[in-house]
Amino acid sequence: MLKEKIQEDIKTAMRSGEQLAVSTLRMLAASITSKEKEKRYKASKQSPEINEEQLVKESQLADEEIIETISSEVKKRRDSVTAYEKGNRPELAQKEKDEIIILQKYLPEQLSEEDIRKIASQAISKTGAKEMKDMGKVMAELSPQIKGKADGSIVSKIIKELLSAK
């Protein structure tokens, strides 16, 4: 399971003295724990009669949910890189870029723009989308296929290009 791999990698990074990897992976582990607590809270509200053991079992994140969390953390860092570069802070931007590299090791292989274009074209054909207002339909069709495998902003940009070309 992905969560256990992350925990093992934290230990390995600690032993080898990789401070950036340790801090990045600890932050990721904290984010995963936070999501699990949120899930546990919702489950306890929906089923107050459930016992603690079942609650803990139900609130464990599946690998897909962990991948979503990692994707979210990568997106935060990309936004930070942009902000730091605008603020003329290249050293902080570089740190964020290094953290992105560490986090991407846990994501599925990312799709190339060419692959995204092919999948998006198929989704547009399948949904019969003709104009920008149909973008929601296309995204709904596309999302399950690309979840965790592509940056949403790139996907959005490609869909807009394809729809405006029609």
What is d(CA 108, CA 32) in angstroms, rounded to the nearest whole number? Answer: 17
| pLDDT tops 90 at residue 15 | yes
Q: What is the pLDDT of residue 76?
A: 95
CATH architecture under which domain 2-104 falls: Orthogonal Bundle (1.10)
In the chain, pLDDT over 90 holds for what percent of residues? 51
Across the range 13-22, mean pLDDT stands at 96
Across the range 35-64, mean pLDDT stands at 87
What is d(CA 22, CA 39) in angstroms, rounded to the nearest whole number? Answer: 26
Query: Which is more confidently placed, 80 or 125?
Result: 80
| pLDDT tops 90 at residue 151 | no
Q: What is the pLDDT of residue 139?
A: 87
DSSP conformation letters of 31-69: HHHHHHHHHHHHHHHH-TT--HHHHHHHTSPPHHHHHHH
Q: How many CB atoms lie within 10 A of CB 118?
A: 12
Structure-token pair, residue 35: 């999501």
CATH 1.10.1510.10 range(s) for the chain read 2-104
What is d(CA 80, CA 155) in angstroms, rounded to the nearest whole number? Answer: 20
| pLDDT tops 90 at residue 56 | no
Q: What is the pLDDT of residue 166?
A: 62
Structure-token pair, residue 99: 């953290």
Q: How many CB atoms lie within 10 A of CB 29?
A: 15
Q: Would you identify the CATH topology of the domain 113-165?
A: Arc Repressor Mutant, subunit A (1.10.10)
Query: Which is more confidently placed, 12 or 124?
Result: 12
| pLDDT tops 80 at residue 55 | yes
Q: What is the pLDDT of residue 12?
A: 97
Q: What is the pLDDT of residue 81?
A: 96
Contact by Cβ (8 Å): 108, 145: no
CATH 1.10.10.410 range(s) for the chain read 113-165
* Mean residue pLDDT across the chain: 90
Q: How many CB atoms lie within 10 A of CB 133?
A: 9
Q: What is the pLDDT of residue 24?
A: 97
